[in-house]
Structure 1
């Protein structure tokens, strides 16, 4: 429990309050026709079970709330099906990437074996979202539906809460051996992989480079977690830190010192934020809204993550630096913000170059700037090597995750826009 509270910096009562609400609405919305295909409620219920094991939530409350949400959501789907019939799916299914042949597979199952559809079928995302609707559209008696609905909702809740609980038990067993932060990184990676596969299976919105972004985010997250563990436990990387700290002073020369101080001064997080603000205004003026939002959330989120990590690790800086800095050392804010800013510059503008040589030169210069800024922090002995590596890893993780998140949000925005256009078109054809 202390690890989770420490990382997200929230008191347990607030965590438990919002935890129950999130579980309730996730279970409720996941069973809604069409919309339920987009809600990973099952995963959230599993996480609820994990929080039970970590003594943040109560097991009886989590089972009751998730079961209640599932049962109520199914009842809502039943009522929609009973009122609007199959025409509802025919009309709106295409906006949620639901092919009619997939939906038709559920109809005979519900009509022939309602119990199997509502109890066993609840463990399949497509059946879970549409079996109650089909039951309503098929005019299944309400009492018969409610009996199977209650049994299915309660069974589903118990099974997935217990899966999360058992996962929490494995945390207590494995964390002392793997390390708390590596275990947490493994958990986050598993969630990212699950969500990526879940969303892509439902909507097929990701391209090949998004898979590379996912793999990069997982690799950088593991590196970041491993560096935290090594720093806290004084393991291998800290020996490299000390060796480099003691030997880098042999490179010091007056001219080179001035160059490195200049580089580090013009690349501070404050300067990076100012540069990002200027770029943001330019992008907004050119109406490149997607990149504007990506830049805004990328830089702001990176700054918040870097500050929070400093407060968690609380590592002292080297005492023999050329500059005197009193703030915490791990991770390097210069490295984090530089990687985010210059990587975003590459991501935003790399397709604007028709000449391949100029394009590669543009990318190379930005990468070189990131490396120079990181090196300047080590050269000046204001950071340990692991601080800079962690800053780069943190920035890379946040950037790649944000690219994936924005892809999902853009897809949802386009779907919503198409739905609104369709409804407006329908409304214009209504008689006045």
Structure 2
């Protein structure tokens, strides 16, 4: 099943309300000064246009909810500006990436050309969330603001939704040629790399080691997409999957079976719950709050994404597995969770152990466990080789994304994070 078909089924029937509500919420939040910088409304609008083109959404309803959402979000911004004025930006702007100078420039434009600024401000990433607030702060009459804001909201919704709608045919041609998963991975990777560059230009948050983490992230994303595309198109690696599955038969015996069953349990559900809980208690006892949060987000999020991809792909497992298996095969859940959990331990050992011999011994041991778990899934006929590679890639991609995101959050919201840490450390 392709991603677009999966989305089509998801948005059909009883789930359609939630799809349109998500579009409404995106448009509304993008227009508010608190969340505007973080919400990719234009990207979502283009994506919704593509979905409308292929029939997953209705074009009129999509345009309507985006327009109404944009106007409603602007009204919230206008109200906040009228009630709290510039003091709101001065007091809370630093927490939401809003700069005083950008607000003052927007306010100056409002005072000179209110109508043009209200309409045009929506199309600028810097002024989008500030324009309604500045209009309220500058005491622009409500009816005047509402008139131009409705024009701007409708224009914005039509422009970006129709851009995706018109691109829909080309999207189909591109995905037919390159592969849908590779195209989506390229778009997602480009967005991650662009966000990394823009954030670092403004904040200088990331250092050399984070660049290496970004490169691992992008390589893992490509590898995951490549494995998914290989299965969809039944490429050469699928033949290798079947060959390897058969070739291992001559090595299978009761002793190795027991050994690899024990090995595979090192990333089993019960084991990971126990190990994860112990690791969480350890990090909390050491007051390593970032690692605690990393562990929770990476393991829970990784599991959710793995199950979602399995249901999108729907690949069957090998026959006659030597262990009990449930659900689809691609990607391997054991491989995903193994690389997430044991890589977090590696990341901790690398940064916090001073004894070099002990550090590299533990890092080598964790690396061996990751690889052993992956091989055990193939040996036990629980997964194909490409399932395990995809699982490793998914886990590496998600974990590195979580690491970079936490670095961004803890730096941008340093004061808030510091207060929370002080409270927890009592």
TM range (shorter): 0.7 to 0.9
**In structure 1, what is the equivalent of residue 176 of structure 2?**
176
Residue pair 1:27, 1:41 contacting (<8 A) in 2 also: yes
Measure how far apart 1:7 and its partner are. Answer: 6.7
Please say if 1:225 is aligned against 2:219. Answer: no
Matches of 2:211 and 2:50, distance apart in 1: 28
> Which deviates more, 156-165 or 112-121?
112-121
User: CA 1:70–1:415 in structure 2 vs 1: closer, same or farther (change >3 Å)?
Assistant: farther
**In structure 1, what is the equivalent of residue 239 of structure 2?**
239
User: CA 1:372–1:173 in structure 2 vs 1: closer, same or farther (change >3 Å)?
Assistant: same
**In structure 2, what is the equivalent of residue 373 of structure 1?**
373
Matches of 1:136 and 1:252, distance apart in 2: 74
Report the count of equivalent residues.
Answer: 419
**In structure 1, what is the equivalent of residue 272 of structure 2?**
272
Residue pair 2:30, 2:41 contacting (<8 A) in 1 also: yes
Matches of 1:176 and 1:86, distance apart in 2: 51
Residue pair 1:16, 1:56 contacting (<8 A) in 2 also: no
1:332-383 C-alpha deviation (Å, 9 max, x unpaired): 3332221112111112333221133432332222112211222233344443
- Structure 1: give runs of 5+ residues left out of the alignment: 421-432
**In structure 2, what is the equivalent of residue 31 of structure 1?**
31
User: CA 1:93–1:240 in structure 2 vs 1: closer, same or farther (change >3 Å)?
Assistant: same
**In structure 2, what is the equivalent of residue 63 of structure 1?**
63
User: CA 1:349–1:68 in structure 2 vs 1: closer, same or farther (change >3 Å)?
Assistant: same
1:313-349 C-alpha deviation (Å, 9 max, x unpaired): 443444476x254544433333222111211111233
User: CA 1:311–1:57 in structure 2 vs 1: closer, same or farther (change >3 Å)?
Assistant: closer
> Which deviates more, 244-253 or 62-71?
244-253
Measure how far apart 1:21 and its partner are. Answer: 1.9
| Structure whose alpha-carbon radius of gyration is higher | 1
| TM-score, length basis structure 1 | 0.83
Measure how far apart 1:159 and its partner are. Answer: 0.9
Matches of 1:348 and 1:361, distance apart in 2: 13
**In structure 1, what is the equivalent of residue 423 of structure 2?**
none
**In structure 2, what is the equivalent of residue 289 of structure 1?**
289
Measure how far apart 1:234 and its partner are. Answer: 2.3
User: CA 1:56–1:359 in structure 2 vs 1: closer, same or farther (change >3 Å)?
Assistant: same
| TM-score, length basis structure 2 | 0.84
Please say if 1:96 is aligned against 2:109. Answer: no
Matches of 1:214 and 1:106, distance apart in 2: 34
- Structure 2: give runs of 5+ residues left out of the alignment: 421-426
SS in 2 for 1:128: coil
The CA RMSD measured in Å over matched residues stands at 3.3
Measure how far apart 1:410 and its partner are. Answer: 4.2
1:60-80 C-alpha deviation (Å, 9 max, x unpaired): 222222222223333333343
Residue pair 1:15, 1:56 contacting (<8 A) in 2 also: no
